[in-house]
Structure 1
Amino acid sequence: MNDATAINTETATPVPVTVAPGWRVSLIAWAVLVTAIILLFWKDSADIVSQWWNNATYQHCLLIPPIIAYLVWQRRAEVGQLTPRPFLPAAALLLVGGLGWLLGQYAGVGLVRHAALVGMLIVSVPLVFGLTVARGLLFPLFYALFMIPVGDQLIPALQMITADMCIFLLDLFDVPAFIDGVFIYIPTGSFEVAEACSGVRFLIAMIAFSTLVAHLCFKSTLRRIVCVVSAIALSIIANGLRAWGTIYIAHLTTPAFAAGVDHVVYGWFFFAFVMAIVLGVGWFFFDRPVDDPAFDPRRLQPRTPAIPLSKAFGIAAGLGVIAIAAAPVYGMLVGERAADQQTAMIELPDVSGWTKVPTQGSGWQPIYENASASASQSYRDAEGRQVDLFIAIYDRQDDEQEMISYGNGLFEPDGDWSWAQNLANPPGGRGVQLQRVPYIRDVWHYYLVGDALTGSDYGAKMATLKTRLLGGPTRAATIIVSSEHRDSSVNNVPAIADFVGALGDLQAALDQAAVAEAVAAE
């Protein structure tokens, strides 16, 4: 590379800076390795970009690559003085990243795959350029973690925090209010603290923004921590105030008028307002000069830097390609196998003490697309209590048939039904209450993956991973027992518990219900 020019801050005159040798060939080797990573994992690369573009929660991630490019460009003079030298042991970390991707692939957890992909891109820097250069680019490499689309897992907790804040403020302003999970009722109408109202997208974006501000504007570690923590707290509080304001305006006017105001306030205008507050308050405490260098290259440069050989960069790139390809190749060799059986249909069993009856009520149905077979049936006992049983079977899970995936679950993501609150978990399952005004549905939800029984999505994912990588029964199924009512004071859980008790061992019930293709053909 050619010599660069730096500025002497004391004399304000250009000072020539000699660029260390080896940069041109190292950049070529790194470009080859990064291209190989993106092409080998192109589906996940495309999925990450798709989530940035289509999911409002992660649209701020579109700005992260340009920000990283700016941070690297800002350090170009200092980094150019460092001698790039491959750190070959980092290839082991690439191998770990590939293993992580394989675990995410066979467990069906997109977050794990995406985190592994971004991690491999980060590790490619010390592998090719060495630890010294990586130290000089430490913050840009750390900031690359914000490219991972993560945060939706916070939605239920943020919904409850927002709902509790609304009730507290409504009580403070003497507005009669009643809360049932994430549903709030006042005399003029009812409101749901839906997923979009949880404030998760602004919280995640604010974390990324405040981290950047903390790095660029503060030198004190304590001030940096205070900046980020304050931004997080302000985002949560501001979102609670916005939700309360909408309900309070509805109390003073009408729900339709309040919704119109909320649509005007909500959106990136709201985020810009909170961001302006963070910058405005933080301005008085900035302690890092604008021309402060990112780091001192003399402190990072080895005392006896060795000029790297061209072969070393080629070896680094080659080791990297081999490391990232190892896990997918293993997956192709041992991870794909045929289903143990083909389920033609499901015949839901007769249950002692319960009679099969036509389904009545709201017409609620769980959604499990691409299942090998599924069926539902309503039952009623002598006391007139009614429960609904739903079973979906996946003979073998893969990219096309995945039991736990976006869109699958107890209700349609953008539909009328929504999560209201968690119930006490039954043994081996999960208890939850759903609501679609005026209907309320109590649910016990189970997963059966191979021989494992669990009510946890993550538990089911881990069981799936175990069977796909280490062997075991390929069949997976979900069993959902629920009961519907309209009175929030009614508790239908005892009826569900009695039905599950009468149903007996869930594995045996599933074996009885699943009709194999060979039997159906006779």
Structure 2
Amino acid sequence: MSKTTAYSWTYLLCSIPSKWFYGVRAHANSLRHLPNGWSRTLGYLLLLVLLSGGCFFGTWSSIIEIWARSKTYTHGFVIVPISLWLIWSRRDYYLRLVPTVAYSPLLAVLAGGFLWLCGDLSHIVIIKQVAAVAMLVAGIWVVLGHTVTLSLSFPLLFLFFMVPMGEELIPALIEFTTTFTVKLIRLTGLPVYRDGHYFTLTSGSWSVIEACSGISYLIASVTLGFVFAYLNYSHYWKRVLFMLLSVVVPIVANGFRAYMIVMIGHLSDMTLAVGVDHLVYGGVFFGVVMLLLFYLGSFWRDPPFTPIAIVPRKASVSSTPQQLAVSVLLLAGFGIWQPLAATLLDKQGQLALPAYVATQALGDWRQTADPKWLWEPKFPRAAEHSKAFYSDSHGNSVGLYYASFGKEEQGAELVNSENALVSAVESRRLRISATDTLAFALGQQTVTLNVTVLKENSGQVLVVMDSYQLSGEISNNRYWVKARQLVKHLSGDTSPELKLVLWVQPDNDDIASAKRLLTGFLTAWLKQQSI
């Protein structure tokens, strides 16, 4: 490297920090001279963001962790930059508005806080995440006032796209994609046999799994579609119409994508589109569809709209005492929920199982030795569990299992998808051959249970019933259980929250008799315990 080149690089590297410093100082000076009290307001907004991050650090961390872990939600990293860019692109308009504190949105802050409390007590992460974003938006509303917040409504509401939600749509999307694909195949004139989400052609078999649901395409389309509609249309009906199209088009397009992949595989004798290459075909197809959607949408774009800032006649910058008062109220509105949740949860966490689970005799039933059946329930994250077997005078035996999760933690909750009857390891020798629900009246309540038939590779059958037991009621409805848990925690009710499982290995695979046996035992059990 020549001396001249070395000198040039040295000068450049040394000049960068000084240029950056002077640039930052210039921006800082310009911020101090913003009109209508914006410089002080921006300072309060920064403090609000720090307050939200500090009070709900765990919730915000969970959002970012999901962005980093799941490709479906990687877009979350660009939501805040996009929102800030949308605001920056119209900064001249916003700076003509006068930010004045508003007190009524404090109610929205409290409502968001209560929602977060409900999510924390019921261990539903997505509710906590939605609540954290809602509280931040409501806090901004308090600091900026009604007029400014209304003008910023889209960039602020766009922040809700940070919440990683949508996975609950996957089963419905899988069902739609399967049905849509099979119907198109039949319209093509090809014979196809469908079994659930699996279908078979003469050339081979296919299945629609989570990766084929199109959830990633849907989320990407909705996010981009909302921004496109906001930037290109000033008429609200056009915005709403394009937003709806950004929801419908990717769902239908994913159906055509699946059909296209199946037909490529079928016509190539299963040599194409049966491996990683089908992801490439699908990605290219979706990209073309989205480009076509945005291209067609551009034909109806409205001319650039230059809004005129209309400042209320008596609008004035909020005084320092007003802003300090609002700051104290926001500090309280954000800060009370974590301690309150900890206090309420400390009252819970009853680890010990109730005494009645150790009952030795029950009418005609007596506790007996383990018959060593081919399966028994296992919930590794349970805080405490109990297993017992009972037999009657006719030699019939049943298994009874209770599990308590005590002071629940994330991943160790009473209602959790991890609490499966058959683990991944057990699935190598066991499969679920049938599922059903059972309901029967007991006193003033209706007992509901899940009924599952397990079949071993050898052909041996087990009949399993499971449900949840809370506050004297038994229900298999997961949503009811979550709601009941929330009410219990808010009211300070410390009664046990239990997972209940009964099972039997029937003679001669007589499933109907096994159901009657389990129902009769459970009825006698519940009557004696007077739950």
Task: Using structure 2 for the length normalisation, give the TM-score.
Answer: 0.77
Match for 1:20 among 22, 35, 44?
Answer: 35
Point out the more displaced range, 50-59 or 186-195: 186-195
- Residue 305 of structure 2 corresponds to residue 292 of structure 1: yes
2:138 to 97, 104, 123: 123
d(CA) in 1 for partners of 2:426, 2:280: 23
Instruction: Assess, with a 3 A threshold, how the Cα gap between structure 1 residues 405 and 3 changes in structure 2: closer, same or farther.
Output: same
Q: 1:454 aligns with which of 466, 475, 478?
A: 475
Q: 1:456 and 1:37, CA in 2 relative to 1: closer, same or farther beyond 3 A?
A: same
Name which of 264, 278, 303 aligns with 2:280.
264
Name the CA distance, whole Å, in 2 between partners of 1:424 and 1:403: 19
Residues 257 and 286, structure 2, Cα contact 8 Å, conserved in 1: no
Q: CA deviation at 1:115?
A: 0.8
Query: What's the CA shift string for 1:319-366, capped at 9, x where partnerless?
Result: 101011122232233431254452499889999899975444xx7967
Q: Distance in 2 between matches of 1:353 and 1:248?
A: 60
The corresponding residue for 1:316 is 326
1:328 aligns with 2:338: yes
Contact 1:431–1:445 (CA<8 Å) still a contact in 2?
A: yes
Residue aligning to 1:503? 521
Percent same amino acid at aligned positions? 22
| Equivalent residue runs for 1:393-432 within 5 Å | 393-399=404-410, 401-405=412-416, 407-410=418-421, 423=436, 426=439, 428-429=447-448, 431=450
1:476 corresponds to 2:497: yes
After TM superposition, give the deviation of residue 506 of structure 1 in Å: 9.0
Label 1:87 to 1:231 Cα distance change in 2 as closer, same or farther (>3 A): same
**1:71-220 matches, cutoff 5 A:** 71-220=86-235
Q: Distance in 1 between matches of 2:93 and 2:426?
A: 53
Give the secondary-structure state (helix, strand or coil) at the position aligned to 1:342. Answer: coil
8 Å Cα contact 1:371/1:403 also seen in 2: no
In terms of Rg, which structure is larger? Answer: 2
Higher mean C-alpha displacement, 408-417 vs 256-265: 408-417
**2: CA distance between counterparts of 1:503 and 1:30?**
62
Query: How many angstroms apart in 1 are the aligned matches of 2:525 and 2:398?
Result: 20
Deviation at 1:78, TM superposition (A): 0.7
Q: Name the Cα RMSD after superposition.
A: 4.3
Letter matched to residue 394 of structure 1: F
User: Alignment partner of 2:299: what SS?
Assistant: helix
Which residue matches 1:13? none
Tell me if structure 1 keeps the 8 A contact 2:264–2:272: no
Deviations 1:368-409 (A, max 9, x none): 634422659899xx9x9x998765332343447422246344
In structure 2, stretches of 5+ residues that fail to align are: 1-24, 28-32, 441-446
- Tell me, in whole angstroms, the C-alpha distance in 2 between the residues paired with 1:164 and 1:46: 38
Equivalent position SS for 2:276:
helix
Q: What amino acid sits opposite 1:50 in the alignment?
A: E
- Secondary structure, counterpart of 1:258 in structure 2: coil
Superimposed CA distance per residue, residues 397-453 of structure 1 (whole angstroms, 9 cap, x where no aligned partner): 344742224634456699979999985564544658799999999975422233332
What is the alpha-carbon distance in structure 2 between the residues aligned to residue 178 and residue 37 of structure 1?
54
Q: Does 1:465 pair with 2:486?
A: yes
CA distance in 2: counterparts of 1:24 and 1:364, whole angstroms: 65
How far did residue 507 of structure 1 move? 7.2
**Residue pair 1:430, 1:445 contacting (<8 A) in 2 also:** yes
Distance 2:85 2:424 in 1: 37
Give 1:140 shift.
0.6
Who is 1:235 aligned against? 250
The residue identity in structure 1 corresponding to 2:266 is H
Counterpart CA distance in 1 for 2:273 and 2:373 is 38
Q: Which amino acid aligns with 2:279?
A: H
Q: Quote the Cα distance in structure 2 between the aligned partners of 1:221 and 1:429.
A: 47
CA–CA distance in 1 between the matches of 2:433 and 2:229?
37
Change in CA separation of 1:339 and 1:366 when aligned onto 2, cut-off 3 Å: closer
Pairwise CA distance, 1:479: 3.1
Q: 3-state SS of the aligned residue for 1:259? A: coil
Change (3 A) 1:135 1:465: same
* Structure 1 residues 359 and 378: alpha-carbon distance in aligned structure 2, compared to 1, 3 A threshold: farther
Q: Compare relative contact order (CA 8 Å, sep 6+) and give the higher one, 1 or 2.
A: 1
Specify the SS of the correspondent of 2:274.
Answer: helix
Deviations 1:289-336 (A, max 9, x none): 3x433x3212xx111222321222222122101011122232233431
- Assess if the C-alpha contact under 8 Å between 1:85 and 1:307 holds in 2: yes
Mean CA deviation greater in 320-329 or 175-184: 175-184
**CA gap 1:370/1:92 in 2 versus in 1, 3 angstroms:** same
Shift of 1:34: 1.8
> Does the CA-based 8 Å contact 2:382-2:403 persist in structure 1?
no
| Separation in 2, partners of 1:142, 1:470 | 33
- State which of 64, 79, 83 in structure 2 corresponds to 1:64: 79
Secondary structure at 2:102's aligned position in 1? coil
Query: 1:281/1:396 Cα in 2 relative to 1: closer, same or farther (>3 Å)?
Result: same
Contact 1:396 1:474 survives alignment (8 Å): no
Per the normalisation by structure 1, the TM-score is 0.79
- C-alpha change, 1:321 and 1:251, in structure 2 (3 Å) is same
What's the secondary structure of 2:323's corresponding residue? helix
Partner of 2:313: 303
Which secondary structure does the structure 2 equivalent of 1:397 belong to?
coil
Structure 2 Cα separation of the partners of residues 492 and 201 of structure 1: 45
Kindly indicate whether the alpha-carbon contact (under 8 Å) linking 1:163 and 1:182 is maintained by their aligned counterparts in 2. Answer: yes
